[in-house]
Each structure stands twice: as structure tokens, then as C-alpha cells.
Amino acid sequence: MAIVETLPPTADGHRRLGLRSPADGADVGEIVVRTPEEVAAAIATARAAQPGWAERPVKERAAIIRRAVQVLVDRRAEIAATVRGETGKPLVEALAVEILPSCDFLNYWSGRAVKDLADEKRRLHGYLAPLKKLVVSYRPLGVVGVITPWNGPFVLSINPVAQALLAGNAVLLKPSEVTPHSGEWAVKVLHEAGVPEDVLQVLHGDGETGAALVDGDIDKISFTGSVPTGKRIAAACAERLIPCTLELGGKDAMIVCADADLERASAGAVYLSMFNSGQVCVGVERIYVVESVADEFVAKVREKAAAVTYGAGKDVGPLFWDRQLDIVSKHVQDARDKGATVLLGGEQDTADGVYFQPTLVVDVTHDMELMREETFGPIVSIMRVADEDEAVRLANDCAYGLSGSVFTRDRAKAVRLARELHTGSVVHNDASVIYGVPEAPFGGRKNSGLGQVNGIDALRGFTHAQPVLIDRWGPKKESIWYPYADEMVQTLDRTIRLGFGSRIARRLMR
């Protein structure tokens, strides 16, 4: 069963894509693919509308985004229904993964905008301080393209779109062709709140449409998706010398220390590996447990995993895209062939939809795809290690570096191990939740991405920081302008000697 199907073209020759629910194969609509010419026209429309939006005071833009919170609350049932139709995820996950954090993001960023985007006076140091004043102004970039994935189609659309709008940009959103209507809800909510239609547009389509956006006359790309596509986008942006933010794949490791609360750790291992059908970039994909507690830990995980149900309306829903089914199956079979033991599940179930059984695999090693490549399925993969040092070494032996987690009762140990992990973030006694913490800068290392979203500089990431240096004393002849004179050489030499020739002087000049 194909989730995305090619349909006969429209009367005017546009390509059409039909959509089916991965839960039961039901028809959930279609999209008409926007052509490169239409993408260029949309960019031109955004370019013309952006100055008017940027001229509005930040306070006014923030009030509009704040109104979107109420719109989202009022429309939450419709949004959740669309998300569930296109992904098949349980209602709990539609609310917890998509709606709740989206409300929080809109509320948080609209509250931060006035302060974060205000002109900033910065104190100058040293010999220039008596002469100049510095003001940094955060200017909108212009037109921003946002390309979003199918695993968190609503929340991963509305968060960057809202940030870019608050910063004064016009935005073009290209949601995944797998979940286009879920992504489009971000645009609908913000339009209903008062964002002008020309300032925020949605571009439906597939890779052709996304490529046209990336290659168009835009000023930044915010992309969430696969590593190969992210690298192509990075190359295209580098060619035009425009910034990009890339949140790519992950292979996040969970380290279970000897002193961990095994009840919590085992429950976390099951949930954090399987929620959202395991299709979470910061979900747990591999677990390293210290040998001294491994037997007890595995027994607890097996007990909890065996209780997990799957199917329509169950704990674990379908894989959101049928293409993912072959990847998950291939990784599990590769592990079997190389000596791993599948204690639970391990098989496809396509009788009613695109399902993979909740699966527990042990005796895994690093020569298996299950421990090296992004699987994106409801799989718990457990490897025994001698100690925490070996766990850290193996966790770092990976092409990805998005996030990671450490389960221990010792907070100091958690911080110490976190500093040894080559990842963008680390979570203690939990995982995945880090993206939902807007104060925390979120981004990956290695193949997991470029740049960061969220954090205290999130809104400024969609601006150009423009320094303006103000003359304190009005028009006058600068002391080192032409013509040069011997007196100037003496003045410069004296400034160097008195300002930097002793420790006390250097301290005063900082």
C-alpha cells in the first residue's frame, strides 16, 4: 500500500499526489504539486509583502502570534484529526507531540520577541569607549523558506515559521508531501490570527518543489529532514552565500549506569524508543547498559515492551510512510543475521496498515545497521557494556550526534558523562523532551545538522545583527586622518605604551 500515489494530472497539466492513511489505507486527500515557476512567483509575492510586515512594530507582530495560541486551542480537535489521518498516530501523541508544545512555542516566542529583537546598546571597552557608542539592530533577513518533515508535521512547521515571522520575515512553508495538510495547518492558524496571506504562504509538492524553493530568491532556509537532502541544501545555500539551519537525522544513545533507577530506565527505554512509532529524530535508537545491571534491566524492559499494543488506536501506531517499512525490516534482519536475538516482535504487519511490531533486540553489536544507521521504527536495541567509559566510547562511535541521554541517580555523574558525549544535547533520566524546551538551543553535531533552533538566540537567528557605531561628539576631524604627521606617530606610540604596556593598564583597557 503506497501512502503517496501519483494521480492523473490536472486539466492544466499539474502533477497530483494522492494520500492514504498508513493506519488503514483510507483516502485522506490529495495535493497539486506547485511548479518551479509558481514557486518563483510565490517568492516574488513574499518579497513584495515583506517590507510592510517588517515595518510593523515587533510588539504588533508578537500580538498576532500570541492570538494564534487561542486559535490553536480552539482548532485543536481539527488539527489533531488531520494529523492522525495522515500519520495514524494515537490521539495522545497528536496532542502531546504536536498540539501542546506548539501552544507553548507560540506563547513563549511571542512573549520573548519585544525584548530579544530590540536594539541593543553594547558597552565599548578601552580607548574607543570615550569616542564611540555601539548599537546592534536585529534586522529581518527578508524571505525565509521552511521545509518540514512528516514525523512531526505540525509542530516542526509552526515553531520555525513563528520565529521567522516574529523576526519580521516573510515565510514560505513547504511541508512534506506525506503529511501536507498537517503542515498546512500551521499556515491556517497563523492566517486566522492575523498574519497576512502574502507574508506567509504554503507550497505543496515533493522534492521538485523543495528544490525550487531552495534555489529561489530567498534569504535563508530552515530545513528538517534527511541527511542526504540536508547536505544538498547546504551546498546550494553555500553557492549563494545565504544561511541555513539544518536539523537532520539522529541515532541517539541512551546510557544506563550501574546506579540507575532501573524501573524508570526500563520504562524510558520502551517509551522513548517507541513513541511516535519510533519516528523521532531525538528518540532513543540504541541503549548501552552496564553489565552489572544488564540482566535485571533487560528483564524489566522485556516485561514492559510485551505490554505495548500496536494498531489503530493502540499504543504504537503505524509507520507514517510506507518507504520506512523496508528500512526498519532491513535493519532488524541484518541484526538477526549477525547474531542478535529478537526477544519480542521483529516483523512487519501490513494486513490493515503500515505497521511494524514493537520490537526488542538484544546481543547487538556495532557491526549491525541497527546500531549504526538511523532506523526510525519502534525498536528497542540493547547492548551490554563493561562500564560507563565503554558506553561513552560506543555512543560517540557514530556518524550522528543529535542528542543523547544518561540514566543515573548521580546528577554530577550525568553532567560529567554529558560533557564526554559528542552530541548537540544531553538529557538526564529522560530523552526527546529537549526539543520542547524553548530555552535550550537545539541542534546536532556531525551528520545530525548545522546550526541551532530554539534557545535565547532563536529569534535573532532569523535576523542580521547590524552594528551601528555612533559618534559621541559630533562632526570633527579624526586624529589619524590625512595628512599624517610626526605628532600622530608619537600619540599612537604613547597610547600603545600606556594602554598595553603593563598588566594594570591591560586590565583597565578590557
Q: Could you give the residue numbers annotated as active site? A: 247
* Distance from C-alpha of 227 to C-alpha of 374, rounded to nearest angstrom: 10
DSSP one-letter string for 409-449: S-HHHHHHHHHHS-SS--EES--SGGGG-TTS-B--EETTE
* Distance from C-alpha of 144 to C-alpha of 84, rounded to nearest angstrom: 28
Which residue is listed with cell 519516528? Answer: 279
- Residue 450, Cα to own-chain centre: how many angstroms? 10
- How are strands ordered across the β-sheet holding 4-7? 4-7, 16-20, 27-32
* C-beta separation of 330 from 357 below 8 A: no
Backbone angles phi, psi at 220, to 5 degrees: -165, 150
Backbone angles phi, psi at 59, to 5 degrees: -60, -40
* Distance from C-alpha of 439 to C-alpha of 155, rounded to nearest angstrom: 16
* Distance from C-alpha of 157 to C-alpha of 183, rounded to nearest angstrom: 6
- Using CA atoms, how far residue 386 sits from 288, 324, 337, 445, in Å, is 10, 33, 24, 26
For 321-416, strand residue ranges (E) read 341-344, 348-349, 355-356, 359-362, 379-385, 400-401, 404-407
Nearest to 375 by CA among 447, 309, 448, 324: 324
Strands 445-446, 427-428: pairing is unpaired
Burial label, 463 (beta-carbon count in 10 A; 0-12, 13-18, 19+): buried
Written as nine digits, the cell of 298 is 533487560
* Distance from C-alpha of 461 to C-alpha of 189, rounded to nearest angstrom: 23
- How are strands ordered across the β-sheet holding 132-140? 120-122, 132-140, 463-471
Which residue is listed with cell 536475538? Answer: 341
* C-beta separation of 101 from 436 below 8 A: yes
Q: How many helices (H) and strands (E) does the chain have?
A: 16, 23
